[in-house]
Structure 1
Amino acid sequence: METGGDLPNQVARGRGHEHLPNLDESSIRTSLTRMRDRATAENISIPQIYEEEANTLVSSQSTSATLLVFRNVASTLYRARRRVLPPLPQTREDIVIPPSLQVSLQGDLFDLLYLPSNATIVFDTLCEHSNIYMDGTFDTCPHLFQQLFTIHAFFGERQVPLLYVLMSSKDRETYVSLFRNLKDLAIRRGRRFSSEQILSDFESGLIPAIHDEFPQSLHRGCYFHFTQAIWRKVQQMDLTTVYTNNESIKGCIRQLMALRFLSIPRIREGL
């Protein structure tokens, strides 16, 4: 670069910082730091922390939301949380529930029942209700167990989970053992674990266990699980394409799903 006057007529190009700070990058780094701090200090879920901080960042800066996507920061946040948590148990015998996690938000002690014979852990807040709903799920179950079994009841118009069970098996004997231990627990607390009506899915181990342990209860199958089972059978028999293209087959399958709405004496007629 040429200069005038008495100054040297050549100026060398510097190699220092030659542009204004990138405010977006600085804001993102600050937001990530807050996320990591919250991940180690708070008990709320990592996705919720991300959503709150990302919304704050986008609303306070002219920052593109694409600069901070969850999949790019999730591993960092989960790693930060794992550093302050005890190591994951490798066996069911390694599971130790600290006293702080055995009480509700109101300070009431959960009932805790551990059955070494089938490794079932039960958290129970209410043993007795006139109508209860039983369901099992596998997608959200920890890898050391086979299923998360839950019992729900309606309070007003809201269905509330009353009991959570981590089960290492779903056979008849395991369910029978669970129900008997729950009934014993209820007796020790001066209650009676029984219901007028029980609604459940169609697990082959659960149904006979309910009939054995609650013979006075009316047992009904869940309509959602009923139609789900029919559709699963349609898929197993490779009838999905036929169902889509053949109105007669579609009508037959849909009528089969609708049998639940007929009175018992008319079901055979409906078939």
Structure 2
Amino acid sequence: MLRFTTSERNQQVLNYLDFQYTVKRINKTCVEWRCRNRSCSSSLTLSLDNICVRREPSIHSESCQAVQPSKIIVEETVEMMKRRAREETKSISQVYAEEIVATRRRHPGVPTGYYFPTLSSIDSSLYYHRSLNYPTLPKCLNDMVLSGEWCLTRSGERFLLVDETYDNKERILLFGSRWSIEFLSFCSGWHADGTFLTRPLLFAQIYIIFGYFDGFLIPCIYCLTSRQDQVTYEKILNHIISIGYSQLNT
């Protein structure tokens, strides 16, 4: 059975008959693989699509040891972490923890704990894979363009309510859902707070509006603003009220 994983440097690794191989040469009709142990000259040949074995491996050197099954299991787990890092929005630490737990449940008799890399040793690789599906970081506010899934909730509902540029250089992004606007209309009070330390660097703050209901403060609206002044806060409140009125008429 042909099984593929990737190395720490994101190079493809072939796992076959208890040994590991890396690409030696890609020809017009086939792919040559060589033993991952560089002191061993064993090699094999696969079809160009890496599905069929064209030539079985040659004999391995005496010093070349078969790979422990636990090592392959761990590499497959890391490969799954990389895939999830690319496709999901969960934190890297959460993806790491969930995959380790899942692997130990699938293979309770395998001493994977000895082989598992620590999060700190592979987090840079996981963050790299996450960045592959993320847009390039903008250098200024005018470079930031939000479209498609970046404007929606996970359920596909509109989430970016306002994207306003004013005074040629200032910008307000207002995020929320239809439910959050309706919920605010039922609240006995609104509370707001801005955080200046945890924010995208191009913005001055993350400004959050909470609805107070039945003894609880529920976060409803999230704003990114390039300024922290009365004009900005008035714009935010006017937008929320305007959106609320428009929802009443739909």
TM range (shorter): 0.5 to 0.7
Please say if 1:121 is aligned against 2:173. Answer: yes
* Amino acid of the structure 2 residue aligned with 1:185: I
Measure how far apart 1:77 and its partner are: 0.7
SS in 1 for 2:137: coil
Measure how far apart 1:154 and its partner are: 4.3
Measure how far apart 1:65 and its partner are: 6.3
Map 1:1-271; keep pairs closer than 5 Å: 15-59=61-105, 60=107, 61-64=110-113, 67-110=116-159, 112-117=161-166, 118-125=170-177, 126=181, 127-128=184-185, 129-154=187-212, 159-190=217-248
Summarize deviations over 1:215-263 as a string: whole Å, max 9, x none: xxxxxxxxxxxxxxxxxxxxxxxxxxxxxxxxxxxxxxxxxxxxxxxxx
Question: Which is richer in helix?
Answer: 1
Q: Cα gap change, 1:100/1:51 in structure 2, threshold over 3 Å: closer, same or farther?
A: same
- Aligned residue number for residue 250 of structure 1: none
Over the matched positions of the two proteins, sequence identity in percent amounts to 24
User: Between Structure 1 and Structure 2, whose CA radius of gyration is higher?
Assistant: 1
Q: Cα gap change, 1:17/1:53 in structure 2, threshold over 3 Å: closer, same or farther?
A: farther
RMSD over aligned CA atoms reads 2.7
Measure how far apart 1:108 and its partner are: 3.4
Whole-angstrom distance in 1 between the partners of 2:114 and 2:232: 49
- Greater than 4 Å deviation, 4+ residue runs: 154-158
TM-score by length of 2: 0.61
Whole-angstrom distance in 2 between the partners of 1:100 and 1:68: 33
Q: Cα gap change, 1:23/1:138 in structure 2, threshold over 3 Å: closer, same or farther?
A: farther
Q: Cα gap change, 1:113/1:65 in structure 2, threshold over 3 Å: closer, same or farther?
A: farther
Whole-angstrom distance in 1 between the partners of 2:86 and 2:220: 30
Whole-angstrom distance in 1 between the partners of 2:221 and 2:69: 50
Measure how far apart 1:158 and its partner are: 5.3
Measure how far apart 1:145 and its partner are: 0.7
Summarize deviations over 1:12-36 as a string: whole Å, max 9, x none: xx95345442333322211111111
Measure how far apart 1:122 and its partner are: 0.5
Measure how far apart 1:51 and its partner are: 0.9
Whole-angstrom distance in 1 between the partners of 2:91 and 2:79: 16
* Amino acid of the structure 2 residue aligned with 1:138: F
Measure how far apart 1:167 and its partner are: 1.2
Measure how far apart 1:116 and its partner are: 0.9
The aligned length equals 178
Whole-angstrom distance in 2 between the partners of 1:151 and 1:131: 10
Any gaps of 5 or more consecutive residues in structure 1? 1-13, 192-271
SS in 2 for 1:141: coil
SS in 1 for 2:112: coil
* Amino acid of the structure 2 residue aligned with 1:162: C
* Amino acid of the structure 2 residue aligned with 1:164: Y
Measure how far apart 1:173 and its partner are: 2.8
Whole-angstrom distance in 1 between the partners of 2:201 and 2:165: 17
Question: Which is richer in strand?
Answer: 2
